[in-house]
A and B are shown apart, each in its own frame.
Chain A
Amino acid sequence: MKTIGLIILRSLRQHLLSTTITALSIALAGGLLMSVWVVKVQSQTTFTQVNTGFDAVLGARGSKLQLVLNAIFHLEASPGNLAYSDYEFIRRHPAVKLAIPIAVGDNLRGYRIVGTGPELFSDVEYVPGRKFTLATGTLFNPAAKEAVLGDFVARKLGLHAGDTFHPFHGLIYDEKNQHAESYLVTGILAPSNTPADKVIWIPLHGLQTMAGHDPRAATDVSAVLIQLRSPTAGFMLDMMYNKQGNRLTFAYPIGAIMAELFNKIGWFDQVLTLISYLVALVSAGGVLVAIYNSMAARRRDIAILRALGARRRTIFSAIVLEAAAIGLLGMIAAFAAYAVILTGVATVIRNQTGVLLNTWAYNPVMLWAPLGMIALCALGGLLPAWKAYRTDIAGNLAPVS
């Protein structure tokens, strides 16, 4: 066994260039495979769990998914507004524990300005047991032109408590559409790793009455975020708004609506997974080709080892294990590739949604991908190993005569 180890080590060293290149291709393939897998699983679990503390969203008639993306994730356009009376009605409904209105329609350099009530910060646990807290400053005065910034957007825009800014009209940044009003930053929220981090929060009234907004809609809200007293209440309201009514949309449950989104884009990560499987297969094939191509150079060494008494199966095992060792080296490096890829993906997802993926959370893929890859490489080693097994000693012992 010690001897086989020495043979493998020396062989890896003798073919250092091809060892390195094949190991790197394994690293890339393994890193890709693990990344695709983890991003898929992590984003699915994270995004179907993120609800920032709400059970349902009430909004204008339209797509539930759009409503959730707009009201919870602060993505997509708003499907429309609802009258203040609709908000009043649901707020008073006995099945509803808490109803918080939001209004959208302005931005600051592409970051959304969302109008809401102070209850969002005082009454809501965005994950069980945790409320939004201020890292610096104080909460906005609901009657003043004041703003509280999410941690992410504050850092991106370089704004601090005490700074002022002029909002821009619309959800998409256009420098020609600047409002005249000036808002004072009164505080910065502590990071919550939720979409709230990339939002500029101002009083509901402020957004509704921003100069240039339609004065007839000055009391309208964009959506109402709802906490229910019981799950059955959700189905009851679903029935009431979506089946019997036709004016509004009640998006419930939020997790299921997000899961639907992942079902819709499921083909996409299936394609990615398939591609990463193929890349893994190709790179294991690369191990086969690399060792197979070096067989001519190895034949003399094999013949010498055989002449020294090495058995055929020893030579066979050494080649298979060498292939597996390349797989092992590659998969160790694959974790570095994984770290790089996933950090990149997590950064993009954080920038786009404010949600932070748990990059290093244990995922079974981190076990089965390396083991599978090593096994695949060993499998790729079988063919050259068979060739080595068949190597004729007498014919390969030095140039005779």
Chain B
Amino acid sequence: MGAFVRPIAGLMSLLSITALQKSFRSPEGERKTIVDVPAFTLAAGQQLALRGESGSGKTTFLHLIAGILAADSGSIHIDGRDMAALGESGRDRLRAESIGYIFQTFNLLQGYSVLENVMLGMAFGAGSDQTRAAAMLDRVGLSHRLKHYPRQLSTGQQQRVAVARALANHPKLVLADEPTGNLDHKNARESLALIRETCRENGAALLLVSHDPGVLASFEAVQDFSALNRADQEAAR
């Protein structure tokens, strides 16, 4: 593991967040701050789990890091580039090139084959590479399912496609949002192990959020999201 942690002086970390804020307008019309993270860092190749209650803003936090949502203020440095300072298409590009995202509901494209799903994970970054896509699917044990469609796969197999897709493009950072939330106990354990191993093999850092004690227990490094997020602390009070 140590091989992937490159200690660079000053900008040592792969992901470095400062004074990140995001608020939403509630249905009643008042602004509500959901994310208020003064500082957060993740080293290259590091694997970290964030523990947080439902509604505490974990998904919002990951969406901000991925550039799916625009931050209100603050900075999100990923591999030297500030996601929070980029415009919409700049964020799309940085996400396509540097980030792999694993969703709780997998979010596979139903109209595309398994292989095409994985290739689309690469298409908007460095470009599709069928050999690489097939190799990733082989790695997650689906080499015989390339031409299948997501609905023809079991839930556990679908999540493995999602894992292959997130890692196909050699991302430096993988974000996983309750990746095992829809899986049964056995599948969840296997899937989690697969995510962690493949991230390690591909040199990607992993930031995972969950409120499942079973998942959190398997991580060496676990942080409380409520300790990180000042908005959450206020809400809790």
* A and B from one complex: yes
Which A residues are closer than 8 A to B by beta carbons? 2-3, 6, 10-11, 13-14, 300-301, 303-314, 393-394, 397-401
Interface of chain A, helix or strand or loop or mixed?
A: helix
> Which A residues touch B109, using CB under 8 A?
10, 301, 304-305
With contact pairs A311-B124, A313-B89, A400-B59 given, residues A304 and B111 touching in the complex (Cβ less than 8 Å)? no
In the bound complex, how far is the Cα of B89 from the Cα of A350, in angstroms? 62
16 more A-B contacts (CB under 8 A) besides A3-B123, A304-B109? Answer: A10-B112, A14-B111, A304-B107, A305-B109, A306-B92, A307-B68, A307-B107, A308-B96, A308-B121, A308-B124, A309-B95, A310-B96, A310-B123, A394-B68, A401-B54, A401-B55
> Which B residues touch A393, using CB under 8 A?
63, 68-69
Question: What are 10 A-B contacts with C-beta separation under 8 Å?
Answer: A2-B128, A10-B111, A10-B112, A13-B111, A308-B101, A309-B96, A309-B97, A393-B69, A398-B106, A398-B107
Instruction: Give the interface residue-count category, chain B.
Output: 20 to 34
* Interface: B120 (CB within 8 A): yes
With contact pairs A311-B89, A394-B68 given, residues A399 and B105 touching in the complex (Cβ less than 8 Å)? yes
Among all A-B residue pairs, the 3 with the closest Cβ atoms = A309-B96, A309-B124, A398-B105
> Which B residues touch A401, using CB under 8 A?
54-55
In the complex the two chains form, is A11's CB within 8 Å of B111's CB? yes
Smallest beta-carbon distance A105→chain B, Å: 72
In the bound complex, how far is the Cα of B60 from the Cα of A311, in angstroms? 20
Smallest beta-carbon distance B147→chain A, Å: 14
In the complex the two chains form, is A3's CB within 8 Å of B124's CB? yes
**Closest chain B residue, CB of each to CB of A11:** B111
Residue of A3, A10, A312, A399 near B89 (CB, 8 A) is A312
Which B residues are closer than 8 A to A by beta carbons? 54-55, 59-60, 63, 66, 68-69, 88-89, 92-93, 95-97, 101, 103-112, 116, 120-121, 123-125, 128, 165
Smallest beta-carbon distance B211→chain A, Å: 12
Smallest beta-carbon distance B110→chain A, Å: 8
In the complex the two chains form, is A398's CB within 8 Å of B128's CB? no
With contact pairs A2-B128, A3-B120, A394-B68 given, residues A310 and B111 touching in the complex (Cβ less than 8 Å)? no
In the bound complex, how far is the Cα of B159 from the Cα of A398, in angstroms? 14
**Closest chain B residue, CB of each to CB of A3:** B123
> Which A residues touch B120, using CB under 8 A?
3, 6, 305, 308
In the complex the two chains form, is B111's CB within 8 Å of A311's CB? no
In the bound complex, how far is the Cα of B96 from the Cα of A1, in angstroms? 16
> Which A residues touch B103, using CB under 8 A?
397-398
Smallest beta-carbon distance A4→chain B, Å: 9
Residue of B68, B104, B128 near A3 (CB, 8 A) is B128
> Which A residues touch B63, using CB under 8 A?
393-394
In the bound complex, how far is the Cα of B53 from the Cα of A163, in angstroms? 101
In the bound complex, how far is the Cα of B68 from the Cα of A309, in angstroms? 9
**Closest chain B residue, CB of each to CB of A298:** B111
In the bound complex, how far is the Cα of B24 from the Cα of A75, in angstroms? 80
Smallest beta-carbon distance A223→chain B, Å: 70
**Closest chain A residue, CB of each to CB of B120:** A308
> Which A residues touch B69, using CB under 8 A?
393-394
> Which A residues touch B93, using CB under 8 A?
309, 311
